[in-house]
Chains A and B, each alone.
Chain A
Amino acid sequence: EPEVTQTPSHQVTQMGQEVILRCVPISNHLYFYWYRQILGQKVEFLVSFYNNEISEKSEIFDDQFSVERPDGSNFTLKIRSTKLEDSAMYFCASSVPGQGAPSYGYTFGSGTRLTVV
């Protein structure tokens, strides 16, 4: 079964450093998403991406965050200057629209655990 692949599985970074989280969505999917889950808390939407641009972003997704699809297969989330409160599990997901598109769930990757120290 096709998978969404995320790398690395765990990243430790110093506060103020830039990090890039990488995702390879399912190849025929057209919508891409990032969510995050602070330890033990709710899964929160960050951003959706379609047709090479952001289609929606949440209040969490401020100027420190950016997304990119640099080469048609990877989908990256960059945090420019990490803060302690950015420590969380970050999930990438992809989805394919079609007839009855909203009935599609997303396929999630297994996540990247980001620890900011």
Chain B
Amino acid sequence: GNSVTQMEGPVTLSEEAFLTINCTYTATGYPSLFWYVQYPGEGLQLLLKATKADDKGSNKGFEATYRKETTSFHLEKGSVQVSDSAVYFCALRGVNRDDKIIFGKGTRLHILP
């Protein structure tokens, strides 16, 4: 079945550091890939998505590229801010209309001022 594996947290960085959160997936065909973010005390917000190979999703300075050859969708940001502190979830949705979104375990990110 489909699955998502993302790097364990917590990840602690200083402000303006470069961020990478690794995510790999297992799925048949070309699933859609997502990053969701959960700020403290809040719900899940869609951060970005990509729906086909080599697509790059981007939002709020974050980027992730759909790599079919490595089955990866790593999240990157060039210069993080304290306000980026949150839990980040990699997720995928399979190719069939009824396929549900499944999530990775989440990576907690702490940004120090």
CA distance A110 to B102 in the complex (A): 18
For residue A55, CB closer than 8 A to chain B, the reply is yes
Instruction: Identify which of A42, A56, A109 gathers the most chain B CB atoms within 10 Å of its CB.
Output: A42
Residues of B whose CB lies within 8 Å of any CB of A are 31-32, 34, 36, 42-46, 49, 51, 89, 91, 93-106
| A residues near B45, Cβ cutoff 8 Å | 108
| A residues near B91, Cβ cutoff 8 Å | 105
Which of A12-20, A63-71, A72-80, A95-103 forms part of the interface with chain B? A95-103
Q: Quote the shortest CB–CB distance from B63 to chain A (angstroms).
A: 17
Question: Are B103 and A42 neighbours in the complex by a CB distance under 8 Å?
Answer: yes
Size of the chain A interface, CB-CB below 8 angstroms? 26
A55/B98 contact (C-beta < 8 A), A41-B105, A43-B103 known? yes
Q: How many A-B residue pairs have CB under 8 A?
A: 64
CA distance A106 to B49 in the complex (A): 11
CA distance A50 to B99 in the complex (A): 12
Q: Quote the shortest CB–CB distance from A39 to chain B (angstroms).
A: 12
Among candidates B32, B42, B43, residue contacting A102 with C-beta atoms closer than 8 Å: B32
| Known A91-B44, A103-B51, A105-B101; further 12 A-B contacts with Cβ < 8 A | A33-B101, A43-B103, A43-B106, A48-B100, A102-B32, A102-B93, A103-B32, A105-B91, A105-B93, A108-B36, A109-B43, A111-B42
Question: Are A102 and B105 neighbours in the complex by a CB distance under 8 Å?
Answer: no
In the A-B complex, the 6 residue pairs with the smallest Cβ-Cβ separation, listed nearest first, are A110-B43, A103-B51, A108-B44, A43-B103, A103-B32, A105-B46
For residue A45, CB closer than 8 A to chain B, the reply is yes
12 contacts between A and B (CB under 8 A): A41-B105, A42-B106, A43-B106, A56-B100, A91-B44, A93-B44, A102-B31, A103-B51, A104-B32, A105-B36, A106-B46, A107-B46
